[in-house]
Amino acid sequence: MKIKSGRFKIFILAAAVGTGLFGAFVNAQTNPTNEQVIQIVAKKFNYAPNVIMLKKDRPVVLEFTTLDVVMGFNVPDLKIRTDIIPGKVSRVHLVPDKAGTFPFVCDIFCGSGHEDMSGKIIVT
């Protein structure tokens, strides 16, 4: 379609820009950082999932809950840790800036299987 009218071109341009801005506004209202959300459930004596796959440079929020007692989540190589408390959601925001495999452990004594509470974050 060939557009002859200059005004019509400006109208189309304005509509396109407006739609784009509105879309960005709506997106910002619903998810300001466009983070990926990963939910992790702790339970004596494991995490589900215990392997967390992330993409390098993609913002992510890890949301933790526990089904029983207080747990910890500690990723020494990424300098991340949080407590996981019954009845609450603990959140860790991060943007992985390097690829690799990063082990995590529970660092709060939570019972006889505490030493087995571990997993890994894999960033690709």
Interface ranges with Cu ion (CB under 5 A): 106, 110, 114, 117
- Cα 76 to Cα 101: distance, rounded to the nearest angstrom: 12
Report the residue count for the chain.
124
* Shortest distance (Å) from residue 109 CB to Cu ion: 6
* Shortest distance (Å) from residue 101 CB to Cu ion: 21
20 contact partners, CB below 8 Å, separation of at least 6: none
Q: Which is nearer to Cu ion, 81 or 114 (CB)?
A: 114
* Shortest distance (Å) from residue 102 CB to Cu ion: 18
67-85 burial, b if ≥16 CB within 10 A, otherwise e?
eebebbbbbeebebeeebe
* Shortest distance (Å) from residue 120 CB to Cu ion: 16
- Cα 94 to Cα 37: distance, rounded to the nearest angstrom: 11
Q: Which is nearer to Cu ion, 62 or 117 (CB)?
A: 117
Count Cα neighbours of 4 within 13 Å in the Cβ-side half-sphere.
Answer: 0
Q: Which is nearer to Cu ion, 66 or 78 (CB)?
A: 66
